[in-house]
Structure 1
Amino acid sequence: MIEQSQQLLLAIFGYVGFDYDLQTLDDEFNSNKNELTRALHTYLGTGLTLIQLPKIIGRIYLSLNLEYRRAQSIIDRYLQNMIEQELRQTPAVRVERKRISLISSLVASLQEDEKLEEKKSEEDKKGLSQAEVIGEMLSFLSAGFSTTSTALAWFIFLMSKHPHVQNKLKKELAEYNYQRLSMEQLESLIYLDCVFRELLRFVPPALGTLRTLVADDQLPSTGAYLSKGDQVAIPFYNIHRDQRYCLGPMDPEQFHPERYLIDDNNDNSKIAFLTFGGGHRQCLGQDFARLELKAIFARIMQHVTFGDGGPILNAGGYKQTDTILPKHIGVTIILD
């Protein structure tokens, strides 16, 4: 179930972000189906390890990690194919596509002569090298599928454990009679929004983040001093489950979408909802992720009912990779 979620979200982002068929949803005999997904997980998982290592140890670790180098080679091949496909377009078509396509915008910024640009100072350089474009594409691709596919896996698990939530979602969607929903219709679905927000509060795909202080500061509650340049760990999971920052009287350790139906004056709850980060460096793709996941949740609930696969197969738990995945997920599927 987790692998299928990853393949779906990777395929969607390939089309939306790069106008490219990554072939992750092709038939089971196509090796492309798992190759890119696994390579991305190796790449992202290695990055998680590197964060915990001194830089010099990290460089040695990368040079000796053959699995990482193979994964990087696979990813580079896919990204290079995307660039070559875009370059085959006529100049007129590329100009038109630049307004609506991320890949077109990136390819348009490619340097015409990399060797010439290398001789220039950083201030005088124009455009991006091919390596820089591939790096940008990889950043978007990683961010565009990893966290959203994790959220989808948790949605399936939580629906199997909370049939009353499934029933309320299906009741809200019933008036649309299996039709495809517009953006306006998706935004009008109040309970779907509650489920979406509670899901990301209860099991944020990312455990937390790090921020570097740009000025000295002092914590008001403890009086502890922090210095400019210090790194501060922000634990999303812990903050989301702190009663001081949750809406309503419900136990923050329990999954309750109804908490977002309560008219609560707890201003801390808005500040402390950190799934997409906050401030100037919050997630750039949060609006797309919100629309994408709501559309998928709604479409699934229009056609499928998930049942609990039992206390062993569907035990839940947490598995730390580049995101926080369900450790054990096994559900029954009934087509409505």
Structure 2
Amino acid sequence: MIFILFVITGVLLVVYLKQKYFTLHGYVPGLAPQFLFGNLLQSGFFNGNSPPMILSTFQKRFGDVFQFWFGPSRFIVINNITDVEHVLTHRNIYDQGDIFIEKFSINYSQSLISTKGLSQIASLWPFLCKIISLGIQFKRHSSIVSPLFRRSKVISHFDLIIGCTDKLLTKWRKTEAKTIHVDIVSQCHNLVLAIFGFIAFDYDLETLDDGDNELTLALRTIINSIMTILALPRILAKAYVTLSYRQRQARNTIERYIYRMIEHEQATAQGKHTSLIASLVHSLRMNEHLEATEDIDEDKRGLSRNEVVDEMVAFLIAGFESTSSTLVWFIHLVSKHAQVQQKIKAELIAQDCLYHLSSDRLDSLVYLNCVINEVLRFIPPATGTIRTLTRDDCLPATNVQLVRGDSVLIPFHSLAHDPRYWSVDPNLFYPERFLGEDQNHHPYALIPFGGGHRQCIGQDLARFELKVIVGRLMQKVTFDDAGPEVNAGGHSMGLAILPKHIGVSIEFD
């Protein structure tokens, strides 16, 4: 009897999960999802097809608006640029994607990415208390973190970025001539992580001294698991994170580094909130003081120790992956287009920057800026951005009706490669497009860091880092294509899109 009840319960559970998570909803076109896998098997995801390529294929088949199931998560994918602009400019209707709350909170529930704004209050009255709590949490985190990533703060890090880049150049100079570098991905990761360690945490993470140090390996473990976590139902994702020895070990390693950085900051703090960790530690002290005096006014609270740790983990991962992926793609793409490197070097000479690069002269490097924009357009660092509806809405261009709770996905790669929005063939790597026909492209055709009120908080830092690093590299070296076997490109998916195969030789000028 017990066995029969167990079987019946199992069947009912499968039927419930199939109906709730794996059934095509409404009138929006799409492929009927398969149990557990959604559209991942049908789209070839497990055979190496990357999400940008998959979404482009679905757009050709189903049109500008379609359903796509990433495992149990259902998205309405939007490709019409008028609809995209509508979504990103109506924050009172489209808030932070619920998937960020549900999945990213498994690893770092107290970070900025796992919080919502206050725009849900009006339409979700039954959950008012929870929403207010999330809104206040977002406000507290944002007020502490956001000012540190403004351009006025970012440009002060010029010499630091140059110094770290020079350290990598010194390592390259010690290698034999015509060495084929097939570890460009890890080298770029280590460079960007070293820079971010100094900028955000005023701490030497030593990644340029030891490319395989335990922090780097731990971060890669966490990053490599993100796609798995996204593809699983939350309960299974949480079990995976909790039960996996590698996940627990990686998290413990990262937290050990973070506590070391917090202790270092507490021991050396000078009262100046010039770095992320300085502001976080100041907020932590303020919170501890308020708790000691039993003043629990939410508006006055600082961040708790758990919030500080989760925020640092989230920023470490973001700083580790997204900027470095664009740098990797820059090296790969310019190794295939020698004329682009020649034009950058010619501009450095023309602007008297070949030997004397400075933060003041960066703005004069117009072509270099075009190259960086083209790399970001050609291969955006992320698949897209997600918003969840707080109330029913109708998309203005396609007239598709959406309901509260729907999650919409805006695919960066599809917009950046849609010939409707670009005058020059968008499948060409052609930086000059931003000097001519595509100089005045639609602003929402190129949104590599997202748009609206939840766009990437660190985009000014990322762009500045890229421009300084690339400018310095082009002062010193030329990247040569090592041939189709080792430098074939392709897509390898993690948190960011990386080339599956990259191999270049580095020639000092």
TM-score by length of structure 1 reads 0.90
Q: 1:200 to 1:177 in 2, by over 3 A?
A: closer
Tell me: higher relative CO, structure 1 or 2? Use CA pairs within 8 A at least 6 residues apart.
Answer: 2
Ranges of 4+ aligned residues in structure 1 off by more than 4 Å = 111-117, 119-122, 263-267
- Asked if residue 73 in structure 1 is aligned to residue 247 in structure 2, the reply is no
- Asked if residue 312 in structure 1 is aligned to residue 485 in structure 2, the reply is yes
- What secondary structure does 2:195 align onto? helix
Matched residue type, 1:211: R
Is the 8 Å Cα contact of residues 41 and 322 (structure 1) preserved in structure 2?
no
1:120: Cα distance to partner?
Answer: 8.3
Is the 8 Å Cα contact of residues 39 and 71 (structure 1) preserved in structure 2?
yes
Q: Distance in 1 between matches of 2:313 and 2:463?
A: 21
Aligned to 2:396: 220
Is the 8 Å Cα contact of residues 245 and 272 (structure 1) preserved in structure 2?
yes
Aligned to 1:12: 195
Alignment match of 1:302 (pick from 469, 475, 488): 475
- What secondary structure does 1:81 align onto? helix
**Structure 2 residues not aligned, in runs of 5+:** 1-183
Cα deviation per residue 1:145-189 (whole Å; 9 max; x = unaligned)? 311110110010001000011110111012435334222311111
Aligned to 2:221: 42
1:256: Cα distance to partner?
Answer: 0.5
Aligned to 1:108: 282
1:115: Cα distance to partner?
Answer: 12
Q: Bigger radius of gyration, 1 or 2?
A: 2
Q: Distance in 1 between matches of 2:480 and 2:299?
A: 60
Aligned to 1:237: 413
Q: 1:328 to 1:122 in 2, by over 3 A?
A: farther
Is the 8 Å Cα contact of residues 215 and 229 (structure 1) preserved in structure 2?
yes
Q: How does 1:181-330 map to 2 (within 5 A)?
A: 181-246=357-422, 248=423, 250-262=424-436, 264=438, 268=442, 270-330=443-503
Cα deviation per residue 1:213-257 (whole Å; 9 max; x = unaligned)? 2332223343221112210111111111001122x3x21111010
- What secondary structure does 1:332 align onto? strand
Q: Distance in 2 between matches of 1:86 and 1:23?
A: 17
Matched residue type, 1:321: G
Cα deviation per residue 1:266-305 (whole Å; 9 max; x = unaligned)? 552x122110100111111111111110010111011101
Q: 1:122 to 1:138 in 2, by over 3 A?
A: farther
Matched residue type, 1:157: H
1:54: Cα distance to partner?
Answer: 1.8
What is the RMSD of the two structures over their aligned residues, measured on CA atoms? Answer: 2.3
TM-score by length of structure 2 reads 0.60
Aligned to 2:508: 335
1:125: Cα distance to partner?
Answer: 7.8
Q: Distance in 2 between matches of 1:38 and 1:82?
A: 18
**Structure 1 residues not aligned, in runs of 5+:** none
Provide the aligned length of Structure 1 versus Structure 2. Answer: 324
1:133: Cα distance to partner?
Answer: 0.5
